[in-house]
Structure 1
Amino acid sequence: MPSTRELLARKCQHTETALADTELAAYLAAVPGWEAAGNRIVKTYKFKNYYETLAFMNAIAYVIHVEDHHPEITLTYQQCVIKFDTHSVNGGRGGLSENDFICAAKVETVFQQSFS
Protein backbone atom coordinates (compact mmCIF):
# COMPACT_ATOMS: atom_id res chain seq x y z
CA MET A 1 0.00 0.00 0.00
CA PRO A 2 1.53 3.34 -1.00
CA SER A 3 1.51 6.18 1.48
CA THR A 4 0.78 9.78 0.56
CA ARG A 5 4.47 10.56 1.16
CA GLU A 6 5.53 7.81 -1.26
CA LEU A 7 3.15 9.08 -3.94
CA LEU A 8 4.47 12.64 -3.52
CA ALA A 9 8.02 11.39 -4.10
CA ARG A 10 7.12 9.63 -7.35
CA LYS A 11 6.90 11.00 -10.89
CA CYS A 12 4.33 10.01 -13.49
CA GLN A 13 5.56 7.48 -16.04
CA HIS A 14 4.14 6.47 -19.39
CA THR A 15 2.06 3.39 -18.65
CA GLU A 16 -0.39 1.09 -20.31
CA THR A 17 -0.97 -0.91 -17.13
CA ALA A 18 -4.12 -0.28 -15.12
CA LEU A 19 -4.29 -0.82 -11.38
CA ALA A 20 -6.01 -4.03 -10.37
CA ASP A 21 -9.32 -3.66 -8.53
CA THR A 22 -7.63 -5.12 -5.44
CA GLU A 23 -5.10 -2.24 -5.46
CA LEU A 24 -7.68 0.53 -5.75
CA ALA A 25 -8.69 0.67 -2.06
CA ALA A 26 -5.06 0.93 -0.96
CA TYR A 27 -4.35 3.78 -3.37
CA LEU A 28 -7.56 5.60 -2.41
CA ALA A 29 -6.52 5.42 1.26
CA ALA A 30 -3.40 7.42 0.36
CA VAL A 31 -5.45 10.32 -1.08
CA PRO A 32 -8.12 11.21 1.49
CA GLY A 33 -11.28 12.75 0.12
CA TRP A 34 -10.85 11.36 -3.38
CA GLU A 35 -13.48 8.90 -4.58
CA ALA A 36 -13.59 6.31 -7.31
CA ALA A 37 -16.24 7.08 -9.92
CA GLY A 38 -16.20 4.51 -12.67
CA ASN A 39 -12.77 4.56 -14.29
CA ARG A 40 -11.82 7.85 -12.60
CA ILE A 41 -10.97 9.34 -9.25
CA VAL A 42 -12.76 12.57 -8.40
CA LYS A 43 -12.62 15.31 -5.79
CA THR A 44 -14.47 18.61 -5.42
CA TYR A 45 -12.58 21.49 -3.80
CA LYS A 46 -14.55 24.43 -2.35
CA PHE A 47 -13.35 28.02 -2.01
CA LYS A 48 -14.47 31.36 -0.56
CA ASN A 49 -14.66 33.13 -3.91
CA TYR A 50 -13.78 33.04 -7.59
CA TYR A 51 -10.33 34.53 -7.03
CA GLU A 52 -9.33 31.65 -4.71
CA THR A 53 -10.77 29.11 -7.14
CA LEU A 54 -8.69 30.56 -9.99
CA ALA A 55 -5.59 30.77 -7.81
CA PHE A 56 -5.93 27.07 -7.01
CA MET A 57 -6.42 26.26 -10.68
CA ASN A 58 -3.27 28.17 -11.59
CA ALA A 59 -1.28 26.49 -8.82
CA ILE A 60 -2.24 22.98 -9.87
CA ALA A 61 -1.73 23.80 -13.56
CA TYR A 62 2.00 23.85 -12.94
CA VAL A 63 1.93 20.54 -11.07
CA ILE A 64 -0.05 18.70 -13.73
CA HIS A 65 2.09 20.21 -16.50
CA VAL A 66 5.30 18.98 -14.87
CA GLU A 67 3.80 15.52 -14.37
CA ASP A 68 2.40 15.54 -17.93
CA HIS A 69 -0.78 13.93 -16.66
CA HIS A 70 -3.82 16.10 -17.27
CA PRO A 71 -7.19 15.79 -15.51
CA GLU A 72 -10.63 16.89 -16.54
CA ILE A 73 -11.32 20.08 -14.57
CA THR A 74 -14.62 21.88 -14.04
CA LEU A 75 -14.26 25.34 -12.54
CA THR A 76 -17.14 27.39 -11.16
CA TYR A 77 -17.36 30.41 -8.88
CA GLN A 78 -16.56 28.64 -5.59
CA GLN A 79 -15.50 25.15 -6.55
CA CYS A 80 -13.16 23.11 -8.69
CA VAL A 81 -13.95 19.50 -9.61
CA ILE A 82 -10.96 17.41 -10.64
CA LYS A 83 -11.22 14.02 -12.37
CA PHE A 84 -8.16 11.90 -13.08
CA ASP A 85 -7.91 8.83 -15.26
CA THR A 86 -5.32 7.33 -17.59
CA HIS A 87 -6.44 7.09 -21.20
CA SER A 88 -3.65 4.72 -22.30
CA VAL A 89 -4.56 1.81 -19.99
CA ASN A 90 -6.85 -1.12 -20.78
CA GLY A 91 -6.00 -1.09 -24.45
CA GLY A 92 -6.88 2.60 -24.79
CA ARG A 93 -10.27 2.22 -23.08
CA GLY A 94 -9.03 4.12 -20.04
CA GLY A 95 -8.93 3.37 -16.36
CA LEU A 96 -6.84 4.10 -13.31
CA SER A 97 -3.07 3.93 -13.00
CA GLU A 98 -0.63 4.96 -10.32
CA ASN A 99 -0.19 8.25 -12.22
CA ASP A 100 -3.72 9.30 -11.23
CA PHE A 101 -2.91 8.86 -7.56
CA ILE A 102 0.49 10.55 -7.81
CA CYS A 103 -1.22 13.63 -9.26
CA ALA A 104 -4.12 13.48 -6.79
CA ALA A 105 -1.63 13.46 -3.89
CA LYS A 106 0.22 16.44 -5.35
CA VAL A 107 -2.98 18.41 -6.02
CA GLU A 108 -4.16 17.66 -2.48
CA THR A 109 -0.86 18.95 -1.08
CA VAL A 110 -1.23 22.23 -2.99
CA PHE A 111 -4.71 22.64 -1.54
CA GLN A 112 -3.68 21.78 2.03
CA GLN A 113 -0.64 24.06 1.98
CA SER A 114 -2.32 27.08 0.42
CA PHE A 115 -6.11 26.96 0.68
CA SER A 116 -7.28 25.02 3.73
Structure 2
Amino acid sequence: MPTNIPPRLSQDEIHSALSSLNGWSYEQERNCLIKEFTFKGFYKTMGFVNAVAFIANKELHHPDLEVSYNKCVVRYQTHDAGGITVNDIKCAKAIEALEA
Protein backbone atom coordinates (compact mmCIF):
# COMPACT_ATOMS: atom_id res chain seq x y z
CA MET A 1 0.00 0.00 0.00
CA PRO A 2 1.41 3.43 -0.94
CA THR A 3 2.47 5.75 1.83
CA ASN A 4 1.35 9.34 2.39
CA ILE A 5 -2.29 8.66 1.56
CA PRO A 6 -4.39 11.59 2.79
CA PRO A 7 -7.30 10.77 5.11
CA ARG A 8 -10.82 10.42 3.78
CA LEU A 9 -12.99 13.49 3.97
CA SER A 10 -16.16 13.48 6.06
CA GLN A 11 -19.55 13.82 4.39
CA ASP A 12 -19.70 17.44 5.58
CA GLU A 13 -16.26 18.17 4.09
CA ILE A 14 -17.26 16.57 0.79
CA HIS A 15 -20.48 18.56 0.54
CA SER A 16 -18.68 21.75 1.48
CA ALA A 17 -16.08 21.16 -1.25
CA LEU A 18 -18.81 20.45 -3.81
CA SER A 19 -20.13 23.97 -3.35
CA SER A 20 -16.99 25.22 -5.12
CA LEU A 21 -17.13 22.60 -7.89
CA ASN A 22 -19.62 23.56 -10.60
CA GLY A 23 -21.70 20.58 -11.68
CA TRP A 24 -19.85 17.95 -9.66
CA SER A 25 -21.79 15.69 -7.34
CA TYR A 26 -21.14 12.93 -4.84
CA GLU A 27 -22.15 9.46 -5.97
CA GLN A 28 -22.78 7.61 -2.73
CA GLU A 29 -23.08 4.14 -4.28
CA ARG A 30 -19.54 4.33 -5.71
CA ASN A 31 -18.25 6.73 -3.06
CA CYS A 32 -16.83 9.11 -5.66
CA LEU A 33 -17.04 12.58 -7.13
CA ILE A 34 -18.66 12.61 -10.56
CA LYS A 35 -19.32 15.00 -13.41
CA GLU A 36 -20.47 14.52 -16.99
CA PHE A 37 -18.92 16.84 -19.58
CA THR A 38 -20.57 17.31 -22.99
CA PHE A 39 -18.82 18.50 -26.16
CA LYS A 40 -19.52 19.32 -29.80
CA GLY A 41 -18.11 16.19 -31.38
CA PHE A 42 -15.52 13.50 -30.90
CA TYR A 43 -12.44 15.65 -31.54
CA LYS A 44 -13.31 18.08 -28.72
CA THR A 45 -14.14 15.18 -26.41
CA MET A 46 -10.76 13.59 -27.04
CA GLY A 47 -8.99 16.92 -26.52
CA PHE A 48 -10.63 17.11 -23.09
CA VAL A 49 -9.69 13.50 -22.29
CA ASN A 50 -6.06 14.21 -23.17
CA ALA A 51 -6.08 17.31 -20.97
CA VAL A 52 -7.50 15.25 -18.08
CA ALA A 53 -4.79 12.64 -18.68
CA PHE A 54 -2.13 15.36 -18.48
CA ILE A 55 -3.54 16.63 -15.18
CA ALA A 56 -3.83 13.09 -13.80
CA ASN A 57 -0.23 12.26 -14.63
CA LYS A 58 1.02 15.55 -13.22
CA GLU A 59 -0.87 14.98 -9.95
CA LEU A 60 -0.22 11.20 -9.89
CA HIS A 61 -3.93 10.76 -9.26
CA HIS A 62 -6.00 9.13 -11.99
CA PRO A 63 -9.78 9.24 -12.44
CA ASP A 64 -12.11 6.67 -13.91
CA LEU A 65 -13.31 7.92 -17.31
CA GLU A 66 -16.23 6.89 -19.52
CA VAL A 67 -15.72 8.30 -22.99
CA SER A 68 -18.15 8.41 -25.89
CA TYR A 69 -18.61 10.47 -29.04
CA ASN A 70 -19.58 13.76 -27.41
CA LYS A 71 -19.27 13.24 -23.67
CA CYS A 72 -16.92 12.16 -20.93
CA VAL A 73 -17.93 11.12 -17.43
CA VAL A 74 -15.18 11.72 -14.85
CA ARG A 75 -15.17 9.94 -11.50
CA TYR A 76 -12.63 10.65 -8.77
CA GLN A 77 -11.99 8.58 -5.67
CA THR A 78 -8.84 7.78 -3.73
CA HIS A 79 -9.07 3.99 -3.86
CA ASP A 80 -6.27 3.45 -1.32
CA ALA A 81 -8.10 5.66 1.19
CA GLY A 82 -11.47 4.07 0.45
CA GLY A 83 -13.19 7.34 -0.36
CA ILE A 84 -12.84 11.02 -1.18
CA THR A 85 -9.68 12.88 -0.15
CA VAL A 86 -8.23 16.32 -0.76
CA ASN A 87 -6.49 14.85 -3.83
CA ASP A 88 -9.86 14.23 -5.47
CA ILE A 89 -11.01 17.78 -4.76
CA LYS A 90 -7.73 19.21 -6.06
CA CYS A 91 -7.95 17.26 -9.31
CA ALA A 92 -11.62 18.11 -9.84
CA LYS A 93 -10.73 21.79 -9.44
CA ALA A 94 -7.92 21.44 -11.97
CA ILE A 95 -10.36 19.90 -14.46
CA GLU A 96 -12.79 22.75 -13.79
CA ALA A 97 -10.03 25.19 -14.74
CA LEU A 98 -10.02 23.63 -18.24
CA GLU A 99 -13.46 25.12 -18.84
CA ALA A 100 -12.49 28.61 -17.71
Q: TM-score, normalised by structure 2?
A: 0.90
Structure 1 residue 58, shift from structure 2 partner: 0.8
Distance 2:79 2:53 in 1: 19
- Point out 4+ residue stretches in structure 1 off by more than 6 angstroms: none
> Match for 2:83 among 95, 100, 105?
95
Distance 2:6 2:73 in 1: 25
Root-mean-square deviation over aligned CA pairs: 1.4
How many residue pairs match? The answer is 96
> Match for 2:16 among 19, 26, 42?
26
* Structure 1 gaps, min length 5: 1-13
Residue type matched to 1:48 in 2?
K
Distance 1:46 1:22 in 2: 29
* Structure 2 gaps, min length 5: none
Paired residue secondary structure (2:61): coil
Q: TM-score, normalised by structure 1?
A: 0.78
Structure 1 residue 23, shift from structure 2 partner: 1.0
User: Does the alignment pair 1:47 with 2:39?
Assistant: yes
* Identity, % of aligned positions: 33
Structure 1 residue 16, shift from structure 2 partner: 4.3
